[in-house]
Amino acid sequence: MPIDVHAHYVPPQLIAAIKSKGSAIGVRLAPADGGKEALAFDYGFKVRPFFPRLIEPVAERHKWMDEQHIDHQIVGTWPDIFGYGLPRDACIAWHRMLNDTLAEWTADNSRKFSWISSVPLTDAEAAAQELERSAGIGAIGAIISANIEDVNLASFRSIRSGARLKHLAFPSSSTLSMLRLRRGP
């Protein structure tokens, strides 16, 4: 069974959540060139526009996977939208929204997809709590960026120690993505 272990996706549930409650945490959709949309954060960062494959309907993704002979895909949110510059509580709420919407989309499409969570790395305790919470709602691993607002992840002592993460089944590493694949039934 060929499995694509590195894919990104922005589900329609996330777009809807941003439209309905994103402004409360400093996240909004903004118009971009060519009639596309991009994500903008109240702290001033505007992400490049969503590209078609990132937001494609699930039927199109299934078609592409079939053409590539891929049976299953592990999706994570797009690292460009981690929003680490958001204030602490907003960043925590944002990653909860990212994970909840990806979990919902994946549950609706579980035959072909699994998901990995993102965490608010600006607060190690909150990151550990969100990782634990997301594991409880179906995440099989986590994706983290190598830096937080242009500061190398290794510079954050509280994250480097990973003490809170050691009891979880997920690996603790400062690589781009961390995966724990399920074995057997």
- The 10s digit of each residue's pLDDT in 35-55 is 889 999 999 999 999 999 999
Question: Which pTM was predicted?
Answer: 0.85
Domain boundary assignment for the chain: 3-11+53-179
Say how far apart CA 106 and CA 27 lie, in whole Å: 23
Question: Which pair of structure tokens corresponds to residue 96?
Answer: 């909860």
If pLDDT is split at 50, 70 and 90, which confidence band does 34 have? confident
Q: What is the DSSP letter of 111?
A: T
Write the secondary structure of 128-179 as one string of H (helix), E (strand) and C (coil).
Answer: HHHHHHHHHCCCCEEECCCEECCEEHHHCHHHHHCHHHCCCCCCCCCCCEEE
Beta-bridged to residue 179, according to DSSP, are 141
Q: Give me the pLDDT at residue 13, please.
A: 97
Q: Of 12-16, 17-21, 65-69, 160-164, which gets the smallest average pLDDT?
A: 160-164
- Helix, strand or coil for residue 11? coil
Q: What is the CATH number of domain 3-11+53-179?
A: 3.20.20.140
Q: Give me the pLDDT at residue 185, please.
A: 33
Name residue 111's amino acid. Answer: R
Q: Give me the pLDDT at residue 2, please.
A: 87
Q: Report the mean per-residue pLDDT for the chain.
A: 84
pLDDT tens-digit readout, 68-105: 999 999 999 999 999 999 999 999 999 999 999 999 99
Question: Which pair of structure tokens corresponds to residue 146?
Answer: 């190598």
